């Protein structure tokens, strides 16, 4: 792999005390291209614009997939990725469903680790802050027929991030629009899934809600996900999350929370969750907490849920007594190398150069 270092680092322009999500990119990016049936020309180079034909299929038929992952700094300044192999696997599952070539593990992992090593100064120091990493693949053939592209680009870029949501969330249960449907691509990180969610999310934002709680597209009675987060409900001392299916993205954070909770001896259930059950739980006080989880937010608790124009509030619990707060701390402590890593989730970035 070729390495071309920047001569003009932008790190001095970065205000690590005021980080907003995705506003500044680190100095370098990883780039590889798929041509003539193989991946070639892998390079780490300065973050820069890329050139391709306006006819590129990504613009017309939306052949594009991505991942989201993070690098964390520990107290000694060492940098760690969190479960990168899971992102690698999911990336190729997404690519396969969108009829795109899979990326070999050595290209993905080598590119990722070396890029984060070169840009290690871009990983923020503060607890809960991290370098958000975005691997993505786009279709670049410029022949306008509705067929899979022959050529692709794979890139990895990264951006320092702070906390995604500062307050607990106001959630609206969505009964008209759908994020995904059975047999579709909801279980992948296809870029088009996100485009399709923007309009209903904007409508909910205008009504004063932070995020939508997506329901199944056929009956709108079963809960799927919240925005770009998987969801958990803590009810009658059980932690419940919707069973994975092809309309739900199988989250790495969700999977980690399930493992941590089981290890703690919590009763955990993965099953269909009906809206009626949630509303009943909110009415009779048996639903203690609910929260969304994902790489970007880690864990974000819900303040209230709106269903058919009725607003239901969650019981007020002080932060340190919340299950979501304790789980978030456990996860962040592992990510920042502040506690043991019983599942072997941390991957230390060695110094290559």
Ligand X SMILES: Cc1ncc(COP(=O)(O)O)c(C=O)c1O
Contacts of 104 (CB under 8 A, 6+ apart): 39
Backbone phi, psi, residue 343, to 5°: -100, 0
Residues 206-245 that bind ligand X (CB under 6 A): 225, 228-230
Residue 96 is classified by DSSP as H
- Decide: is 84 part of the binding site for ligand X (CB under 6 A): no
Q: How far is the CB of 90 from ligand X (least distance, A)?
A: 7
Q: How far is residue 170's CA from residue 165's CA, in Å, rounded to a whole number?
A: 11
Residue 254 or 275: which CB sits closer to ligand X?
254
Q: How far is the CB of 68 from ligand X (least distance, A)?
A: 5
Q: How far is the CB of 13 from ligand X (least distance, A)?
A: 28
CA distances for 242 relative to 82, 98, 155, 258, angstroms? 23, 25, 32, 12
In sign, the C-alpha dihedral spanning 269, 200, 249, 333 is negative
Residue 116 or 293: which CB sits closer to ligand X?
293
Which positions from 247 to 276 touch ligand X by CB under 6 A, shown as an x/- string?
A: --x-xxxx----------------------
Q: How far is residue 136's CA from residue 91's CA, in Å, rounded to a whole number?
A: 8
Residue 44 or 190: which CB sits closer to ligand X?
190
Q: Which two tokens stand for residue 77?
A: 């300044």
Residue 44 or 131: which CB sits closer to ligand X?
131
Residue (of 226, 207, 243) closest to 324 by Cα position: 226
Which positions from 289 to 308 touch ligand X by CB under 6 A, shown as an x/- string?
A: -----xx-------------
Residue 33 or 85: which CB sits closer to ligand X?
85
Candidates 30-38, 202-210, 246-254, 339-347; binding stretch for ligand X (CB under 6 A): 246-254
The count of chain residues that interact with ligand X, using the rule CB under 6 A, is: 12
Q: How far is the CB of 197 from ligand X (least distance, A)?
A: 8
- Which position's Cβ is nearest ligand X? 251
Residue 14 or 293: which CB sits closer to ligand X?
293
Q: How far is residue 7's CA from residue 5's CA, in Å, rounded to a whole number?
A: 6
Residue (of 329, 282, 274, 286) closest to 302 by Cα position: 282
Residue 151 or 228: which CB sits closer to ligand X?
228
The burial of 211, by beta-carbon neighbours within 10 Å (0-12 exposed, 13-18 middle, 19 or more buried), is given as: buried
Among left, alpha and beta (phi > 0; psi -120 to 50; other), residue 222 is beta
Residues 62-81 that bind ligand X (CB under 6 A): 68
Residues forming contacts to ligand X in the complex (CB under 6 A) are 68, 225, 228-230, 249, 251-254, 294-295
């Amino acid at each position: 792999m070729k390495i071309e270092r920047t001569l003009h680092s932008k790190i001095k322009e970065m205000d690590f005390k005021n980080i907003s999500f995705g506003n500044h990119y680190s100095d370098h990016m990883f780039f590889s291209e798929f041509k003539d049936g193989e991946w070639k020309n892998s390079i780490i180079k300065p973050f820069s614009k890329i050139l391709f034909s306006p006819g590129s299929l990504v613009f017309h038929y939306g052949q594009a997939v991505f991942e989201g992952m993070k690098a964390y700094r520990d107290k000694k300044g060492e940098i760690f990725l969190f479960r990168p192999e899971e992102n690698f696997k999911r990336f190729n599952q997404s690519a396969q469903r969108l009829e795109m070539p899979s990326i070999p593990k050595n290209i993905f992992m080598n590119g990722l680790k070396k890029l984060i090593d070169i840009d290690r100064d871009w990983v923020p120091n503060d607890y809960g802050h991290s370098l958000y990493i975005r691997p993505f693949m786009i279709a670049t053939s410029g022949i306008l027929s509705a067929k899979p592209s022959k050529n692709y680009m794979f890139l990895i870029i990264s951006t320092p991030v702070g906390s995604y949501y500062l307050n607990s969330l106001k959630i609206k249960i969505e009964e008209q629009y759908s994020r995904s449907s059975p047999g579709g691509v909801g279980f992948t990180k296809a870029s088009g899934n996100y485009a399709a969610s923007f309009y209903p999310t904007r409508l909910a934002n205008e009504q004063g809600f932070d995020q939508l709680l997506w329901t199944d597209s056929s009956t709108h009675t079963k809960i799927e996900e919240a925005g770009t987060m998987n969801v958990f409900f803590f009810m009658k001392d059980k932690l419940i999350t919707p069973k994975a299916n092809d309309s739900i993205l199988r989250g790495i954070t969700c999977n980690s929370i399930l493992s941590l909770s089981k290890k703690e001896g919590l009763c955990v259930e993965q099953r269909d969750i009906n809206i009626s059950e949630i509303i009943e739980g909110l009415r009779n006080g048996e639903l203690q907490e609910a929260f969304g989880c994902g790489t970007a937010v880690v864990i974000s608790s819900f303040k209230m849920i709106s269903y058919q124009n009725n607003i239901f509030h969650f019981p007020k619990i002080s932060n340190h007594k919340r299950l979501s707060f304790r789980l978030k701390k456990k996860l962040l402590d592992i990510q920042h190398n502040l506690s043991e890593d019983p599942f072997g989730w941390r991957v230390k970035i060695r110094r290559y150069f």
